[in-house]
Amino acid sequence: MDILFLLVPLSVVLVLAVLGGLWWAVDRGQFEDIDREGERILRGD
């Protein structure tokens, strides 16, 4: 039972870190034009 006092806050911190990373990526425009980037990789300029 004591391990829950450690695991629950750690899982909350992990979820907040993942959400923060996703928000950062969306805010920086990482998902704006996915199709063009995929074509650029295949063309091999």
Could you give the CA distance from residue 23 to residue 20 in angstroms, rounded to a whole number? 5
Task: Report the pLDDT value the prediction gives residue 24, as an integer from 0 to 100.
Answer: 96
Residue 45 pLDDT > 70, yes or no?
Answer: no
What would the pLDDT profile of 3-29 be if each residue is shown by its tens digit? 999 999 999 999 999 999 999 999 998
23-41 residue pLDDT tens: 999 999 888 877 777 787 7
What whole-number distance in Å separates Cα of residue 18 and Cα of residue 9? 14
The whole-number pLDDT of residue 17 equals: 98
Say whether pLDDT at 42 is over 80: yes
Of 24, 25, 45, 43, whose CA–CA distance to 35 is shortest?
43
Confirm if 4 and 11 have CB atoms less than 8 A apart. Answer: no
Domain ranges of the chain: 4-43
2 versus 37: the higher-pLDDT residue is 2
